[in-house]
Structure 1
Amino acid sequence: MIRYLRSTKSLTNTLALFFIGISVAIGVIAFCVFSLAIHWSEDRMGERRALLDRDIAVERFIAGEQGKITVDVLTDAYNDISLVPSDYREFIHQHEHYLGEVELKDKPTSRMVYKGAYTHNGKSYDIILLSRIDNVEFGLDEIIYSSLIVVALVTTLMCIFGTLLYRLSIQLIEPVNEIAEQLENHSGNSENEFTISTEAAVEFQTLTERLNQYRTDLNLALKREQAFARYASHELRTPLTVVKGAGKLLARTEQNDFSQRQIHRIDNATEQMITMVDALLSLVRYERNADNAPLREIPHNELHTIVADNSIQADEKDVTIKLNISSTPTVRATPPVMNMIIGNLIRNAIAATAKGEVTIDVSDTMLTITDDGPGLTNEPNLNGHGLGLLIVEDLSQRYQWQFRLRSHPDRGCIASIEF
C-alpha cells in the first residue's frame, strides 16, 4: 500500500483526492464563515439601530410622553418596566444594562432588547426598547439562496483549479509514467525509440531526446562489439591454430630434451591462449544476455581437466595440487569461461607458493583455492593482483557471483567464489 502511494502512477489520483478533500474543507469553512458573518452583521446592525432608537425615545420621554411609545414600525420604547410584556420583563429584571438579541423558548420570534437609563430633572428613569429584529433579518429562503451562491462559487473555483491541476499533471507526472513504462517495455531492445507527448514540459522533451541519443550510442556500441566478435574470432583463431599445428609437427621430429620442453611449453601456452580467446569472445557475445545462457552442472572431468591444464608451473616448482570435490555447482558460464576463471586462480596460487600445497575445494555453492604463500600484504597495490584477477572479478560480477580474496589464518591466501 505504501509503495502504491509512492508510485508516480498513483500520484495523479492521490493529488486529485487530496485536492477534493482540501476543496471540500475550504467550501465548508467558507460556508460557515459566510453564515457567521451574516448573523454577526445582523446582530451588529440591530444593536446600532437600538442605540439610535434609544436616543429618539429619550428625547420623546423628556418632551413629556410617558409609558409606552412607538418609535417606528419595529421598535417600542418603555420608561416603566411594569409595562413591558411579562415574558421579557422577567429577563430584563436580571440585568442592570443589556443590549442584545433575546430568543425565548416559548416564542417563535426573537427581539432586540435594550435596557438602560436616562436622567431628567435630576431623576433617573429606566428605558427599555423592544425591536422586532426578525422583520429585517434574513429569512430562511434568503439564507438558502445566498448559501447556494457561495456553494456555486466554490464549486466553480474547484472545477477551475481541478482543470489546472489536470493540465499540470499531464505536463509533470504523466511523462514520467510514460518514460518509465517505455523503459520497462523496451528493456533489452536497443532499436525502439522513446516517445513523449507534445504537451509535456520542455525538460521531459530534452530528457527523451537524450535517452534516444544514448540508446543510439548503445546500439552502435553493441554492433561494434558484435563485429569485433565476428572478426576477432577469425583473426585470433587462425594464427593460434597455425602455431598449434606447427608445434605438433615439431614434436614429431627428433629433438633433444631442451627442445622438447620448449615445444611442450609452446603447446601449453597455445592451449591457454585458445581458451582465453574463447572465453573473451564468449563475454562479448553474452555480456548483454548472460541470464539467458542455459544452466549446466560442471562435470568432474571438466574440473580435473582445468586443474591439469593449469598445473604445469606446479610440476616445475614441486608444488602439490589437491582437488577436493564434494559436489559440483550449477552455473550459466560456458566451459571456456570456467577454464579461464579457475585457471587464473590456480596459476596465481601456484605463483604465490614457493613450496607447499595448493588446495582446491569445490561444492555446489562455493569454490575455494588456498595456497601456502605469504598471503596478502597490508600495502596497497595500485596495479591490483594482475589482469587475471581483474578478469575473474569482472566475470563474477557478470554472473552475480561473490568473489573474495583474503589471507588464511594459518597458511597463505584464500581465493573464493560463492555461486
Structure 2
Amino acid sequence: MLNASFSNTKTLTGHLAIFFTAVSFTVGIVSFAIFYLALQWSEDRVGERRILIDRDAAVERFLSGESGVIQLDELTVAYNDMDLVPENYREFLQNKVSYLGEVGESFNPLSHMVFKGQYTDQGKTRSLVLLTLIDRVEFGVDELVYSGAIVVMFVATLMFAFGTILYRLSIRLIEPLNDITEQLNQDSIDVEQAFSIQPQSAHEFHLLTNRLNQYRSELNQTLKREQAFARYASHELRTPLTVVKGANKLLMRAESTEFQSRQVQRIEDATREMITMVDALLSIVRYERNTSDAPLREITKNEIESIVESNTTQAERKHLDIELSFAGSPTTRATEPVINMILGNLLRNAIAATEQGTITVDISKQQLVIIDDGAGLKEAPNSEGHGLGLLIVDDLCQRYQWQFDIQNHHSRGCVATIKFDPV
C-alpha cells in the first residue's frame, strides 16, 4: 500500500502532505500524552514526598503530647486515632497496615493524598493517618488547557515546518519531473520546441533537460537529413534503374541465343527486385515519424500472387513447390513495396533453407504464415538465410506494430508468423 501510494510522482506531493500531517498529529498526540503522564507522575511523587515530610512533623507533635486531630497546615490533617478519621477514608484504610497514595472522595471532586502508618509512643504502637488536599497544589483545568495549547502550538509549528519543507521539496524535486513527463506525453510532439523547466529546480533536472534538448535537436537534424534523402534519393535512384529496365526491354525484343536470353531475364529480375527494395526503403524513411500518415488499404490476392510468382524462378531451380492459400485480405498502412520486401525476404529465406519439399504460404485477415521443409533454425545448413533479411522484416514489423515470430515447426522445418495489428 505504501509503495503504491508513493510510486506516482503526480500524486506524490499530496501523499507527502497527508503523510507529514499524520506524522505531525501523531507526534502532537504522543507528546501531549507523554507530557500529561509525566505531569501526573511528577505531581504524585511530589505529593508523596510532601506527605512524608508532614508525617515526620506529625509524629514529633504527637510525641510531644498532642493527640487526636492535628491541623498541620491548610492542606494536611494528621490523626492518631482511626475513629477520628472521616468515615470514607476509615473504611478504605481499616484493612490496610500501611498505605501511601492518592484517594478521591465520592462526595467531593477534590482528592487527597493519604498516608497510613504507625509510630511508637512510650513502647505502645499507635496508628498514624495523614490526609493532604493535594488537588489544591496540582494542575487544575486551566493549567491543563494552557499546557494543551502549548502542545497544539507545537503541532502547528511542526505542520508549518513540514509544509514548508514539502513545498520546497516539491518545487525542486517533484514538480520538475512532472513537468518533463507532461511534455514527453503530449499528443503532438513538436521537435522544434525545447523542453522547459522551472529555474528553482534541482541542478540534476537542469542537466537532464539540457540533455533532452540536445537529443531532440540531434533527432530533428537526423529526421531532416532522412527527409532530404527521401526527396533526393527518390530521383537519383529511380532514374538509373528506369534506364536499366528500359534498355533491358529493348534487349528482350532483339534476337538472342538461349544463354543471352537467360542473362537478360536475370537482369530483369534483379532490376525489378532493386526497384522494389528502393521503394520499400524510401517508404520506411517517408513514414518513419508516424506510420499513421500512410493511407489504409487492403492486401489483395493478386498482390500476393505477384510476389510469390517473382520468387518462383528461385524455387524452380531447387525443384521446390510453393503452395499459396489466401483466406482473406488484411487491412494495413504498409505500401505494396513494403509487403513485397517482407514477403519476398521470408520466401527467399525459406527457399534458401530448404533443399527439397514444399513451401506453404498461408495468409488471412489476421496473419501471414510461411512454412518450409528445411532443417530448422538450429540445424539449418545455410545460416545466412536467416540473417539480414529477417532483420529488415523484424524492423518493418515493429514499425507497423505487427508481431513477428520465427521458430521450428513441430513436423516440418521453420514457421514464420506475422500477426497484423488490427486497424
Q: TM-score band, normalised by the shorter chain?
A: over 0.9
Aligned residues: 419
Give the drift of 1:75. Answer: 1.1
**Corresponding residue of 2:368:** 367
- Gap change, CA 1:101 and 1:8, over 3 Å in 2: same
CA RMSD of aligned residues (A): 2.2
TM-score (norm 1): 0.93
Secondary structure at the residue paired with 1:128?
strand
1:386/1:33 CA distance change after superposition, 3 Å: closer
Judge which range, 293-302 or 337-346, deviates more. Answer: 293-302
Using the alignment, how far apart are the partners of 1:346 and 1:333 within structure 2? 18
Distance 2:166 2:414 in 1: 64
Q: CA deviation at 1:4?
A: 7.3
Aligned equivalent of 1:403: 404
Deviates more, 1:175-184 or 1:386-395: 386-395
The correspondence of residues 156-195 of structure 1 with structure 2, limited to 5 A, is 156-185=157-186, 188-195=189-196
Instruction: Show the counterpart of 2:117.
Output: 116
Q: In the superposition, relative to structure 1, how do residues 386 and 88 fare at CA in structure 2: closer, same or farther (>3 Å)? A: closer
355-364 vs 277-286, which moves further: 355-364
- The whole-number CA distance in structure 2 between the counterparts of 1:346 and 1:225 is 29
Q: Which runs of 5+ in 2 are unaligned?
A: none
User: Which residue in 1 is equivalent to 2:45?
Assistant: 44
Task: Name the residue aligned to 1:218.
Answer: 219
Identity %: 59
Which residue number corresponds to residue 416 of structure 2? 415
Matched, 1:257 2:258: yes
Looking at structure 2, the residues matched to 352 and 147 of structure 1 have their Cα atoms a distance apart, in angstroms, of 87
Match of 1:34 in 2: 35
Paired amino acid for 2:164: T
Asked if 2 retains the 8 angstrom alpha-carbon contact of 1:311 and 1:346, the reply is: no
Residue 59 (structure 2) pairs with residue 58 (structure 1): yes
Deviates more, 1:182-191 or 1:137-146: 182-191
Q: Which residue identity does 1:347 align to in structure 2?
A: R
Instruction: Kindly provide the CA deviation profile for residues 288-317 of structure 1, in whole angstroms up to 9, marking residues without a partner as x.
Output: 212342322111211121122222223444
Q: Once the two structures are superposed, what CA deviation does each residue of 1:203-246 show, in whole Å capped at 9, x if it has no partner?
A: 11111111111111111111121122222222211211111111
The answer as to 2:160 corresponding to 1:154 is: no
Deviation at 1:46, TM superposition (A): 1.1
Aligned-residue offset at 1:136: 1.4
Residues 301 and 329 in structure 2, CA contact (< 8 A), matched pair in contact too: yes
Indicate the SS of the match to 1:266.
helix
Equivalent positions of 1:17-416 (< 5 A) are: 17-185=18-186, 188-378=189-379, 385-416=386-417
Contact 1:373 1:412 in 2 (8 A): yes
- Tell me by how many angstroms 1:149 deviates: 1.9
Q: Following TM superposition, by how much is the alpha carbon of 1:325 offset from its aligned partner in structure 2, in angstroms?
A: 0.9
CA distance in 1, matches of 2:382, 2:51: 99
Is 1:8 the equivalent of 2:1? Answer: no
What is the TM-score when the length of structure 2 is the normalising length?
0.92
Moved over 6 A (4+): 1-5, 379-382
Runs of 5+ unmatched residues, structure 1: none
Instruction: Kindly provide the amino acid, as one letter, of the partner of residue 195 in structure 2.
Output: F
Q: In structure 2, how many angstroms separate the alpha carbons of the residues matched to 1:135 and 1:341?
A: 98
The structural deviation recorded for 1:54 is 0.7
For residues 380 and 68 of structure 2, what CA distance do their matches in structure 1 show? 115
How far off is 1:383 after superposition? 5.3
Supply the AA of the counterpart residue of 2:330: P
Aligned-partner Cα distance in 1 for 2:382–2:9: 46
The AA in structure 2 aligned to 1:183 is: L
